[in-house]
Amino acid sequence: MNHRFSEPSSDTELVTEARRVLQNNLLGTFTKPAPSLYPHQWNWDAGFIALGWAPTNFKQACSEITALFRGQWSNGMVPQIVFSVKNVGKYFPGYRFWETQGLPGKPRNTRTSGLTMPAVHGFILQRLLEQAPDTRAARPFFRRMFDRVMLLHNYLYTLRDPHKEGLAFVCHPWESGMDNLPTWETVFETIRFDPEKDVPPYERMDLLHVDAPFRPRKESYDRYIYLVDLLRKSRYQKPELWGDYPFQVQEPMFNAILSHSNEAMMELGTWLGKDTGQLQEWYDQTNKSLNDKLWDEQRGVYVSYDLVQQKQVPVVTAGGILPLLCGAPNEKQAERLAALIQSPKFCGSPENPTWLCASTALDEPGFDPCRYWRGPVWINMNWMLYHALLRYGRPALAARLRDDSLELVRRHGFWEYYNPWKKDSGGYGSDRFSWTAALVVDWLRK
Ligand code: 9WN
């Protein structure tokens, strides 16, 4: 069901409504991503959500990050989900399914999943510092978090980068945050398993909240659960596990975010008087490898690389444009990426135009405008693309991404994702979605 504002809603009304969404999703130390679909704390959500609190409640913004890092494992991994103990909402896979309890290295007093997510925390911290009402008072928080984020980056550059290339792999689609990209289907086609025998019994909860055509198909869920089962049987993250583990993919957005966080951490580190040499090394190496290994010259976009099959996965997604965020592309590449967003692959045609920016290119065989990550517009992607395009001196195109995002929210409300086709415009997934609200606040803050 699509909620509409009584149009036209002013920016002030929009921000007031956005703050109400965050307030209603607040569960004490953290804010859940959505009222019922996602009742716990999620990793990259926490980062975007912190930006929504920062202008009016800086303490809560810091609390989001602190609460998330309470779940950090001793090897540095920051989990995809930190489960709420109080709020036993219906979510699958719940805490027990992950079998992480009692694992050495997992903090005993928190309940977490066994995967990680895009490392947005470095650049979120930098943006929080810019908004700190009292930087002196906030210094201990930033000092603590700097060390925690260093541990996380170290984890990604050691346990997730077997060839020491500066490119971390994801071991599950959920780690990418873009769980249902057609990219993963291409990878899964190479993985042999029998859904009858190799997938443990499970019961989905997402379909209690969202209609099936807007969520992943059963085949995709079987694959997600198959991988979780492999990981939990191996007790997670043991270096020797990766030898024959079938899903190891270097994805461009995941690495662009990590790289951008490295450069943000360099600034933060300089302010804190820390040595930033390691961050510089990581930053340089990741940007170089993004270009050497993930750039697809024919398509003029970055694509994923399957470490098991040792080949690129040629699927065009919005994530493939995001290395603009960390400064990896040269001007020629940037020109091709900017041209790609404005081409029919993302813009449609004058007769059938879109809102920017579809998560998967419109002409990909796996494109689906309403099924999550197969095509819908996501506000966090648009927010990152906005900053990426500003970095490369394209303010008009950046403004278009921001304006399209705000217009979608004005017309439909704070949805998890939106149909990119203007003729079928609408919001899907969960309504009153926290990061949509938070990033509207960030865009419209004075
Ligand atoms: C699995 C919480 C999360 C986001 C992801 C989004 C979706 C979860 C799910 O919701 O994933 O992690 O159950 O579908 O894909 O990006 O962090 O908002």
**What letter represents residue 196's amino acid?**
E
286 lines ligand 1 (CB under 6 A): no
33 lines ligand 1 (CB under 6 A): yes
Contact criterion met (CB below 8 Å) for 434 and 442 = no
Nearest ligand 1 atom to alpha carbon 81: 12
Nearest to 445 by CA among 135, 57, 45, 54: 54
CA angle 368, 374, 378 (to 5 degrees): 115
The predicted pLDDT at position 1 comes to 41
Contact criterion met (CB below 8 Å) for 107 and 70 = yes
Contact criterion met (CB below 8 Å) for 261 and 253 = no
Question: Distance between CA 131 and CA 129 in Å, rounded?
Answer: 5
* Domain ranges (residues) in the chain: 11-444
The predicted pLDDT at position 243 comes to 82
Burial label for 5, CB within 10 Å (0-12, 13-18, 19+), is middle
Q: Thinking of the domain 11-444, which architecture would CATH place it in?
A: Alpha/alpha barrel (1.50)
**What letter represents residue 200's amino acid?**
P
CA of 177 to the centre of ligand 1 (A): 6
- List pLDDT tens digits, range 204-246: 999 999 999 999 999 999 999 999 999 999 988 666 668 889 9
Nearest ligand 1 atom to alpha carbon 430: 18
Which CA distances in Å does 334 have to 26, 301, 320, 382, 392? Answer: 39, 9, 12, 17, 7
Measured in degrees and rounded to the nearest 5, phi and psi for residue 144 equal -60, -45
Question: Distance between CA 326 and CA 312 in Å, rounded?
Answer: 21
| Helix, coil or strand: residue 426 | coil
Q: Which residues are catalytic?
A: 179, 416
Residue in the block written with tokens 């290295």: 105
Hey, what are 376's tokens? 């819908």
Question: Distance between CA 337 and CA 294 in Å, rounded?
Answer: 14
Query: Is-above-0.75 flag for pTM?
Result: yes
Contact criterion met (CB below 8 Å) for 352 and 421 = yes
The predicted pLDDT at position 333 comes to 98
Residue in the block written with tokens 């004490």: 28
Q: Ligand 1 pocket check: which of 64, 113, 179 to mutate, most ligand atoms within 8 Å of Cβ? A: 179
The predicted pLDDT at position 8 comes to 52
Beta pairing partners, 81: 42
Per-run averaged pLDDT (10 residues), the chain, 446 residues: 58 96 97 96 98 98 98 97 83 94 93 98 98 98 98 96 96 97 96 93 93 92 96 81 90 99 98 98 98 98 97 98 98 98 98 98 97 97 98 98 98 98 96 98 94
Hey, what are 169's tokens? 């792999």
Residue owning the nearest CA to atom 8 of ligand 1:
174
174 lines ligand 1 (CB under 6 A): yes
38 lines ligand 1 (CB under 6 A): yes
Distance of CA 219 to the CA centre of its chain: 22
Question: Distance between CA 327 and CA 46 in Å, rounded?
Answer: 24
| Helix, coil or strand: residue 82 | strand
Question: Distance between CA 404 and CA 356 in Å, rounded?
Answer: 6
The predicted pLDDT at position 89 comes to 74
Contact criterion met (CB below 8 Å) for 79 and 115 = yes
